Each structure stands twice: as C-alpha cells, then as structure tokens.
Amino acid sequence: MALLQPQFISLTTDFGLRNISVGLLRSLIARHFSKSNIIDFSHSVKPGKPLEGKYILENLFTTLPPGSLHFFINDIFSTENNPLIIAEFGQHYFIGPDNGVFAAIFQGRSYKAKKINDRWNMDWHLDLHNFLNNIHNSNNWESIAYPEYTLIQKDFLTVFKKQGLVRGQVYYTDDAGNAITNIHRSHVESIFKDERILISFGGTSNINKISSHPGDNTGIYSPFAIYNEFDFLVLGFKYNNFAKLFDILEGHDISITLQKTALN
C-alpha cells in the first residue's frame, strides 16, 4: 500500500497545548499532506507515561480507515535510545519514537518497519521533513533507502485470570481523577456470569458491582465501576477525584482485583 496522500492522519503526543511543538508538527504534516484530514487524538498524554499513550492509540487508530497515518510521540526525551521509526501494521502506518508501545499494540502480529534516525532529538522536524520528502519521491515507502528495523519489545501491564479472579492494573488516571484500567469486559465475562463480585483497590477499599451508569444505585459519595466506550473497566467518583481520594497511581503500582464474594 502506497503512503502518498492518506485521507486521515492522527496525532497522539505528550506535547501539551502550551508550546510550539503541536503547531510545528501540524504545519509539517500540512506541508506534505495538504489533502489529508488531521485528527487530534490527544496532546495531553503525560510525559513518561507510555501506558496512557498506548491505551489511546490502541483503541483509536482502528476508528480511522485503512491507509491512515498515525503520529505517536510520547516520552520523546527519555534517557533510553529510542529511534524514530515508521511501521506498517494492519494497513495502517505509524511514525514516532519506538519506546515499546508499537510492539505492544501489534502483539506479535506481522508488521514492517524502518528506522528514520537513531534517536529523537531537537531536529526531529528536519528528519521528518526529509523522510516525508523521500516518500513523495518514491512509489512505495518500503523502497526508500532506510534500514529495516525490529521493534523494541517491553513488558507492559497484563491481565491475570483464573477461576474466580481477574486481576489487572490502572492504565492511567484522567483529568477527572477516574482510573482507567486494562481490565476489559471480555476478561470479566469470561470468568464471571451472574455471580456477585468484589472489586478491590487501594488496599482495603472495594466496590461490589459494575454499574451501567455512574449514578446507578450508588450513593453520591460512593465510588463506582463502569465500562467505558471501549469496554474497559473504569473506577471513579461521581462528585470527587477518585484517584486522589484513594491514592490510586498509574501503571504497575496499583492493581484492580475482581473476585467472587459472599455478599447477600
């Protein structure tokens, strides 16, 4: 599949909105892809929080049609040597520093990748400009004289399941203080049918049901659990900051446990 003028280009970055980088990236893209629609998935991914970026990109890239191009720029000034790369997977294209997120999204399935430079640096826009120029001068990005590349593999959060138990972790906390977990509805329903459950978090705290709405059958000062639009389990408070109140942190430090309970 040629990468000449994608209909849609998505942006997922940790640039924030109070610096020049978002405008520089959008201008660069518009210069090379004048007919493409630019979709901002998010510019508020927290620096150094690849789990949040992974969650956003993994769940949103398939909302755009095949042939779309996705810029994923997160944790760019890490002390690790993260090269700038391009990858093709599932008829979608991805460009960004390789910090392990791409491989985690592709989950061992077939992909093609090339290295654009050895490390993300302050001249990233020049490297991208030169690369995109080369794309337009070629019929196929794979024929461009950039080295073949194997994606970095990293261990990200995983869900553990056994009879009577599903254990996951917090992906990230959003601006409202809700905790988005990596526990999917399918994980829960593969273990539990009509049994009552107990969702444990923060040591001694728990929730005993998954609601269809934040206000369903819970007190206004009680925490709730619901599935979001992508069917991932979210823990929150209707009128308070859940993460702050219960000292819930992002990543591997906190786990969410679902298990049977003897509640009557």
pLDDT of residue 70: 96
CB 183 within 8 Å of CB 168? yes
Considering the chain, what percentage of its residues have pLDDT values greater than 90?
25
127 Cβ contact list (under 8 Å, min separation 6) = 84, 116, 117
The pTM of the full predicted model, rounded to 2 decimals, is 0.82
Most confident of 109-113, 126-130, 162-166, 209-213: 109-113
In angstroms, how far is CA 198 from the centroid of its own chain?
27
Q: Treating both helix axes as pointing N-terminal to C-terminal, what angle do 21-32 and 124-136 enclose, rounded to 10 degrees?
A: 10
pLDDT of residue 216: 66
Does the structure show a pLDDT above 80 at 15? yes
What does the pLDDT look like over 147-163, one tens digit per residue?
A: 888 888 877 778 888 88
Residue for token pair 């997120």: 101
pLDDT of residue 145: 66
pLDDT of residue 264: 36
pLDDT band at 261 (very low <50, low <70, confident <90, very high): very low
Domains of the chain, earliest start first: 8-143 (3.40.50.10790), 160-260 (2.40.30.90)
Q: Closest by alpha carbon to 251, among 68, 14, 54?
A: 54
Q: Which two tokens stand for residue 166?
A: 């599903």
Q: Closest by alpha carbon to 99, among 128, 122, 113, 79?
A: 79
Least confident of 59-68, 187-196, 211-220, 246-255: 246-255
